[in-house]
A and B are shown apart, each in its own frame.
Chain A
Amino acid sequence: MRFTKSLTMMAAALLITVSCYAKDKMQPLAIGAAAPATDAPVAPLEGDSTTLADIAGEGGLLVIFSCNTCPWVIKWQDRYNEIAAAAKAQGVGVVYLNSNEGQRAKDDSVAAMKAHAEKFGYDFTYAVDKDHVIADAFGATKTPDVFLFDKDLKLVYRGAIDDSANDKGAVKAAYLADALAALKAGTAVPVATTASLGCSIKR
């Protein structure tokens, strides 16, 4: 009995260690990798549950991890609609995912998401990534965090929207727009990965 208990405790300790290690070493999806978790549930604010496979268009798939409260999201979201429109116009399916399960009972509840989307005139699918399954599969660490896939659902761009969160008029490097343009033209994405400050996803 005592042995079983010790074994259980050791297993638990090992699990915690592995879990901590995994968190320390979470790696974002590599360029060229296939879109993972494409059959995981994506719960839009209205309508039936769907999946990334369903959302993807003939031109590709754009997934942006977002939330209601992060200051960096607030700063960048004045570009959210035009990004979604540009992507859709070239056949790229679009979804903004909220993976903040740790705040689901608070600021990132479905009701709060609806209120936020309405307040800021979101004209795209803003959906719940339940239990951050997709964020984990993507290795997404923060909001906002952009993942753009081509028509074969291979990752072609990962990172920031652009280089000027505060002022879209001051953008010098429109990373995501450039990636979408390259995707449309069938050329290589000029800058395939970027980084940007953001808020950790609340798992």
Chain B
Amino acid sequence: MTRRQTKTTALTATITTACATAAIAASVLLTGCGRGDTATSTENPATPAPTTAETTPVAPAVSLPMKTVDAAGLRQVIADQKGKKAVVVNVWATYCAPCVAEFPHFVEMAQANRDDVEVVFVSADFPEELAKAQDFLTSQGVDWQTYLIADASDQDFFPALSPDWTGGMPATLIIARDGQEVVFHDGEMDAATLAGHVATATGQPAQH
């Protein structure tokens, strides 16, 4: 790589980081799950997936493209890990302040327990904000596959996460390696609580 290429790459990274940082700052500044009163949109919050078994890349231009996922897709993603890893499914959105606040705990835990835990991030961001969501994922160092809810109004999706989920965010489902549910948590989760649930799910203390 030439020095010019290196500088260009560095500049791109800096811009990306700056944009992502700004996005995070904006999210954190907005209290609650709110983005203020300018969030009105006439578009649908998510595009329906064409099938239940396959997921479709949504934003291939970004480094970590999310895939749309519906109820059957989510169940499959979870089932794929049975007998291999514990699973932590976290539904989040950039406009959701508690989601943004707890997100680093999940990333840190995922990175420290790659062999034992599969963290499945499922975004509920609006179509007009997918780039922001992708930037956020990049800024958080998420280098594995993440997902986007295919259809926010699909009543089947909610029980696919948990029959107890009424749709509030953040929401987290933790499943042990044997496929048994450890906990469904509605609301923000702190690092210690997450570590405790992960320890239960893996049968060993979570790495930090």
Contact = CB atoms under 8 A, between A and B. Distances in A.
Contact of B164 (A25, A194, A199): A25
B168 A199 contact: yes
A38 to B, nearest CB: 22
B32 A100 contact: yes
B33 A69 contact: yes
A51 interface: no
B185 interface: yes
Nearest to B34: A69
Nearest to A68: B34
Given A108-B32, A166-B42, A141 B37 contact: no
Contact of A166 (B36, B45, B187, B193): B45
Contacts of B95: 71
B31 A69 contact: yes
Interface in A118-154: 119-120, 141-143, 145
Interface stretch (B3-11, B130-138, B152-160): B152-160
B44 A197 contact: no
B32 A142 contact: no
Contacts of B96: 199-200
Interface string A60-91: 00000001111110110010000000000000
Interface centre among A143, A170, A200, by most chain B C-beta atoms within 10 angstroms, is A200
Nearest to A72: B33
B75 interface: no
A70 B34 contact: yes
Interface stretch (A39-47, A157-165, A176-184): A157-165
A24 B169 CA distance: 13
A66 B35 CA distance: 15
A200 B34 contact: no
CB-based closest 3 A-B pairs: A69-B34, A199-B33, A142-B168
Given A74-B37, A194-B155, 7 more contacts: A23-B186, A75-B41, A108-B32, A160-B167, A167-B44, A200-B169, A202-B31
15 contacts: A24-B184, A24-B185, A25-B164, A28-B166, A69-B30, A69-B32, A74-B34, A103-B32, A107-B32, A141-B167, A142-B167, A165-B45, A194-B155, A199-B32, A201-B168
